Structure formats: structure tokens, C-alpha cells
Structure 1
Amino acid sequence: MQARSSFEQARASVGHRIHPALFYSMFVLLLGGNALLGTALLLHSDIARLWSGKTDQIISAYEDRIAELRVEIDRLHSRNYAQAGDMNLQLQELAQQQEVLLEQHQLVKVLVDKADALGIAPAATPTTAAITVPTTASGNPDIAATAASIDQMMTETRSAMASIASTASERTEGIVSTLTRLGIPVTLPPVEEGVGGPLLAPVEDAALSPAVEDANAVLAALIRYQAARQSIDAAPVHMPISDGYRQSSGFGNRKDPFTGSRAFHAGLDFAAPSGTSVFSAAAGVVTFVGQKSGYGKTVEVTHSSGFITRYGHLSAYMVEKDQRVNTGTPIAKVGSTGRSTGPHLHFEVRRNDTALNPKEFLEAGRQLLALI
């Protein structure tokens, strides 16, 4: 009973606090607000399209945009990869060029050694170190600068080889011209060329590199120059006497020292102290050692060029018959034997038993000496 009385008192208290009309009015307002919010949501463009059956179009539009972004990203990656790939390709090409450069340099070193042995001093030989790739301000490899450096070094290397070939060819032509003027034949190895065979299409991969072709050309020029130099050794163009002499008589008609009348003198006379060394004027074989009328003690050397040199009025022999001698080999001593008025060397150059003017040969020898 007491509990029921308390409940009824509380209900009466609430009834006094909230009027029923106010309660229902608040409920109506809350319901109307929810209705307005729902209408606003339905009128929103994207949400309205979702509710109006256009969901597939919106999803498709977003997917298209995402696809465009992916394509753009792939394009950027592809550009970077292309640049990196192109750079790597250029670096590979530079590495190949450096290999060619090193090949050229090795060939030049070999050719310079051979040229030096023949007395040819080529242009300065380029030194080839490992190529380092410089970088630009942005830190990327400076391909253009590296390529220009390699091109310059390759040009210098080929220039060095061309210098050797040019010098060798010029000297060869000078030797041939001088000796031909004296009637001395010069035999040079021919330039190697194809002489026959089936006609086939060229094979690009089988072609020699420019470095090897240049080296072959230089080597051919050096071989021909070496052959020309060997022709000089067989030509009687070298002085048969060195220090302490003077030319006392020339070639041709002169006043005979014994008769006082004009007579033909078949050689050159070099006045020198008795015992002065006499040298072979060219490489050859000793074909006469002994006394010869008017010449006294005489030595004759026959040369492969077809000439014979005669050395007269000697005091002593230093060679024997059939002995092979080189240019400058000591063969005798100056004397005054035979038809002579004092110690001197009588020097003759003969061909087919005809005396030729030795002065022309010795002057040619001085020119050749200056040339080589």
C-alpha cells in the first residue's frame, strides 16, 4: 500500500512537469527534422545518382581516372628507364671505343719501336690511360665530353701512325730516286693486294678495324723503307776513309805527276798518312787482293748492285779474297805502292770495267745520310 502510494505521487509530479501537448509537439518536430535530412541526402548529386541507378557510371568514371593516373606513372617510369637505358647504351659504345683506342695504342707502340730501329722519329706518341667519365653539374655522366675526349685521343693515335707511314714513304722515295739516278736498281717488296679468287659478296663482320688497317699500311711502309735502306748498303756511296785526309786529285783528265802531260785519272785520290785505315764503301765480297800494275797493292770489292770498288796504293791488306764485308769494314791501310808520289788512297767505282766518277756516288751518299 505504501509503495503504490509513492508511485502515484511520482507520476503526479511528472505530470505536473511535462505537459502532454508539449511532448507531442517535440516528437513531431523530431520526426520532421529527420524527414528534411533524408530529403537533403536524397537530393545530393552523387548520392542521388547512386539511388537513381547510375552507380555503374560513377564507378566506371573513378576507374577511368585511376587508369589514367596509372598510365601517367608508367609513362614517367618508362621515360626514366629509357633515359637510363640510352645512357647505358652510350656508355657501352664509349667502352667499345676505348677498346679500339687501346688496340690502336698497342699497335702504335710496336710500330714506333720498329720505326725507331730504322731511324724514324714519329710525332709524339699519345699516352692512353683508362677513360674516366666526367659528370655534369646535375651529377649525370657527361657522355658528350667523354666521347669528345676519346675521339681526340683516337685521332692523335691515328695521326701518330700516319706520321710514321708518311716519313717512311718519303724516305723510301728519296732513296729510290737517288740510287736510280746513279743507275743502281732498287727492289722493293710489292704492296700486298688481292690477285684473284671467286667473286663473293662482302661480309661486314669480316672487315678489319680501322686501327688494324692503319697498322698494316704503316707496317708495309716500314718494310719497303727497310728494303730501300738495304739497297744503300749495297751501293758504293760511303766514304772509304775517315779522319785526317784531303782530296788531292779528282776524276777526269789532269796533269800527270810523272810525265807532266795530260792524262785520264780514273778515280779520286785522298792524301793521308801511311797506315790510315781504308774501309769498304759498300757491302760485298772481296774479289781481288794483290798487286795490280800502276796501282801497287790493291783490293777490289764486288757489290750486289753490280758495281766494283777498287782501292789502290795500299801499304797492307786487312782482308782476304772471297771474304764477305759490310759497309765500313776495314779492308786495308793507306800506302804509296805502285805508281805513286806519296801516301794516299786511290779510290775507283767501276761498272762493266768502266770507271765512273766516284764523286757523284759519295755526294749521293751524303744526301742519303742526311735523309735517313
Structure 2
Amino acid sequence: MRHSAISDSTGHRPSRRGIRPALFYGMFAVLLGGNAVTGTALMMAPDIARLLGGQNELVLSAYEDRLAQMRVEIDRLHSRNYAQAGDMNLQLQELSAQQEVLLEQHQLVRALVTKADQLGIAAVTPAQDAPLELSLETTHSGNPDVAATAASVAQMMDETQMAMTGIAVAATERTAGIVSELGKLGITLDLPDTQPAGVGGPFIAADDALASVPMIEDANAVMDALMLYQAARDSLSVAPVHMPITGNFRQSSGYGNRKDPFTGARAFHSGLDFAAATGTAVLSAADGVVTFVGEKSGYGKVVEVDHGNGLITRYAHLSAYLARQGQSVQTGTPIAKVGSTGRSTGPHLHFEVHRGDKSLDPKPFLDTGKRILAMLG
């Protein structure tokens, strides 16, 4: 590399003891990396918060503005260092651009991993201690080994991309599992439509200068998968697939034809019986609204809850009421106490599921709930 000589006011030239190439490139890398890391952390934080809030269109616009600001800052650094150093390898500029994309990608992955953790999804994540600064490796001659450094940056970018893919796959698989399980019960989920409506225009080839935008679109696609999973998981609260009783109990009778305990003749039993001590809490099997509190012939004291989708659950032979008609309840809300009122041989909960005027076997509902909970861990 050629060094320019500087003369002092007397015309004498100082000794040619310039900065060593390896030291200069190292200082340049640290300066550039430090500014990029700091700039990214400060400017991306508000957008990450909006990303977690689901405002994806605002995120795209905000990121484009901040990417432009970061490019201006990096260009300024390049210009200053070019003026000081003279002829700089253009590949260093390409690496710094790659590093900029990597830093943004890493911030997005951190945000997505945080959201996935909140939803109980454990995803493969990049090494937390992986260095984010552009660390230039050198050859035996002391010059920067651009190829090795580029390979290192590319590897880190692949790792962060793999993390985003892992989150999306896990969320999509769980969503599909919930939809499938509830679909077997005739429950159709009303999930949000993540596809934009009212879009179009002529096909124009992609602009390679906007390389960072697809990365943000990938992150938004992962966030869409997480939002769909969250909606599917939340829908479980309105599906009567949760046990209506806890503690010490046993199933004492199933759904369908059985020997009547009073007459000994064959008779139809329209629900499940769970034998338990008098006073044991009876829980709502899902979110809903209490539509009936009172007595019915043969059932004794009864509470009924409407869960939407045409589904109603009935809890009978109760000893006491804990809910009132018109009350909104959540999954697991205590609504009554086990008893032996009505046509009953001993304290137990009689649990029914109805779609319209037709009774359904509650067992497939409760079994589905167990499978889904096991799938979600």
C-alpha cells in the first residue's frame, strides 16, 4: 500500500513510520462496527415494540426510514476513512453493508423469539454471545482476509434466518393441530386473515437495492404465523374441551344407553357422570354466558352455559349455585357445587354438551382438550 509523505513548515520530511495496515483496518472495523451496533440499537427499538404490537405496515415504513438514516451515517464514515486512508478495498464496503443487514436481522429475531416465548414456543435461536461487530480476519501478510470474514457474516445470517424459520414452522404446526382437533368436533375457528386485501399492479422485477425489505417481510410473515397461532390458542377458551371438575373424582357413568339405576331397564344417558364429594367445585368447561340457573325435572339443580358456535354445556344434580343467570364466565370459573339433587343415587356431577337441541357425547370434547394441551406442552 502506498503511503503519502507530509512535509512540515521547514520542508523537512519526517520518518516514514505510518500506521501498519492490520492495525488500521482493525481500528476502522471497530469504529464502523461500534457505530452500526449503537445506531441499530437506538433506532430499531421503537419499531420492535410496534412489531410486537402487530402494526406490521407501520414497521415496514419505519424500518425503511431508519435504514436510509443508517446508510447516510455509514456513507459518512466511509468518506472520512477513505480521505484518510486513500484507496480502500471496495469489498470492505460490501461487508459493512452485509453487517448492517445482519444487525437488523438479529434485532428482528430477538423480537420474534420474545413473542414466541410468550406463546410457549421454544425455537432455535442464534448464539446469544455471537459477536455482532465486523471482525476482520487477516492473512499471513497482515492484510484483511475479506473472503473469510464474508463467510463468517454469511454464516451468522443463515443462523438468524434459521431461527425465524423455526419459529414460523412451530407456530404453523400448532395452529394446524388446533384447527384439526377442533374441526373434528364441528368447531370452525374464525382466524384473522393475514393476507392483504385490495392489492395489485403490474409485475416489475425486484430491485436488488432494496435487499433489506424482503428480510422485514420475512419477519412479518413469521409474526403473522405467531398471530394466527395466538388466535387459535385463544379460541380454545370458548370450546368446551376442559374438565368441569378437579380434585378427587371418578367417572361413574358414560354417554349412551345403560342400565337405569332406578328401574334396571335400558335407558339413554345424555352425559357423563363424575362421582365426587358433595360441595366439590363445578367449573365452566369454557368461556361463555350463563343462560340458566334453576331446577329441571330429573336433573335437580342445574346451571347451563352458552359458549357460542351453537354449543351449550349443562351441569346437573348440584347442591348449590355459584353463578347467576346472565353472568359471563371464563374457562375454569367455579359456577356450582357437586350435589345429589333430582334423580340421583349419590353425589356426582352430571355433565352434558348440546349443539342446539341435540345432546353430544362429552367424552370426545374432553379427550380433544387433553390432546391439545399435551401438544402445547
TM-score category, normalised to shorter length: 0.7 to 0.9
Cα distance change of structure 1 residues 165 and 198 upon mapping to structure 2, 3 Å threshold: closer
Which residue of structure 2 aligns with residue 321 of structure 1?
325
Q: CA deviation at 1:110?
A: 1.2
Q: Distance in 2 between matches of 1:315 and 1:151?
A: 68
Q: Distance in 1 between matches of 2:87 and 2:169?
A: 40
Q: CA deviation at 1:200?
A: 6.5
Report if aligned partners of 1:277, 1:332 keep a CA contact under 8 Å in 2. yes
Map 1:290-309 onto structure 2 (within 5 A).
Answer: 290-309=294-313
What is the number of residues matched between the two proteins? 290
Report if aligned partners of 2:313, 2:353 keep a CA contact under 8 Å in 1. yes
SS at match of 2:262: coil
**Letter matched to residue 214 of structure 1:** D
Which residue of structure 1 aligns with residue 258 of structure 2?
254
Which residue of structure 1 aligns with residue 89 of structure 2?
88
- For structure 2, the 5+ residue unaligned runs are 1-81
Which residue of structure 2 aligns with residue 140 of structure 1?
143
Report if aligned partners of 1:278, 1:330 keep a CA contact under 8 Å in 2. yes
Q: Distance in 2 between matches of 1:201 and 1:142?
A: 38
**Letter matched to residue 182 of structure 1:** L
Report if aligned partners of 1:126, 1:157 keep a CA contact under 8 Å in 2. no
Q: Distance in 1 between matches of 2:310 and 2:157?
A: 47
Map 1:1-372 onto structure 2 (within 5 A).
Answer: 88-127=89-128, 128-129=130-131, 130-193=133-196, 195-199=198-202, 201=204, 204=207, 205=209, 209-372=213-376
Identify the structure with the greater helix proportion: 1
**Letter matched to residue 115 of structure 1:** A
Per-residue displacement from partner, 1:274-296 (whole Å, max 9, x unpaired)? 11111111111111111111111
**Letter matched to residue 116 of structure 2:** A
- For structure 1, the 5+ residue unaligned runs are 1-80
Per-residue displacement from partner, 1:24-82 (whole Å, max 9, x unpaired)? xxxxxxxxxxxxxxxxxxxxxxxxxxxxxxxxxxxxxxxxxxxxxxxxxxxxxxxxx9x
Q: Structure 2-normalised TM-score?
A: 0.73
**Letter matched to residue 147 of structure 1:** A
Q: Structure 1-normalised TM-score?
A: 0.74
**Letter matched to residue 356 of structure 1:** L
**Letter matched to residue 305 of structure 1:** N
**Letter matched to residue 224 of structure 2:** A
Report if aligned partners of 1:126, 1:153 keep a CA contact under 8 Å in 2. no
Cα distance change of structure 1 residues 160 and 85 upon mapping to structure 2, 3 Å threshold: farther
Per-residue displacement from partner, 1:120-167 (whole Å, max 9, x unpaired)? 111134334323112122111121121111111111101011000000
Q: CA deviation at 1:227?
A: 1.4
Which residue of structure 2 aligns with residue 29 of structure 1?
none
**Letter matched to residue 279 of structure 2:** G
Q: Distance in 1 between matches of 2:123 and 2:292?
A: 43
Q: Distance in 2 between matches of 1:123 and 1:207?
A: 24
Q: CA deviation at 1:221?
A: 0.6
Per-residue displacement from partner, 1:173-231 (whole Å, max 9, x unpaired)? 11111111100011122232453444374562567523212101101111111111122
Percent identity over the alignment is 64
Report if aligned partners of 1:335, 1:344 keep a CA contact under 8 Å in 2. yes
Q: Distance in 2 between matches of 1:87 and 1:259?
A: 98
Q: Distance in 2 between matches of 1:187 and 1:126?
A: 37
SS at match of 1:209: helix
Which residue of structure 2 aligns with residue 21 of structure 1?
none
Q: CA deviation at 1:333?
A: 1.0
Which residue of structure 2 aligns with residue 63 of structure 1?
none
SS at match of 2:89: helix
Q: Which runs of 4 or more aligned residues in structure 1 lie more than 6 Å from their structure 2 counterparts after TM superposition?
A: none
**Letter matched to residue 108 of structure 1:** V
Per-residue displacement from partner, 1:219-251 (whole Å, max 9, x unpaired)? 111111111112211111011111201000000
Cα distance change of structure 1 residues 134 and 198 upon mapping to structure 2, 3 Å threshold: closer
Report if aligned partners of 1:318, 1:331 keep a CA contact under 8 Å in 2. yes
Q: CA deviation at 1:88?
A: 2.9
**Letter matched to residue 166 of structure 2:** S
SS at match of 1:355: strand
SS at match of 2:246: coil
**Which region of structure 1 is more displaced relative to structure 2, 186-195 or 233-242?**
186-195
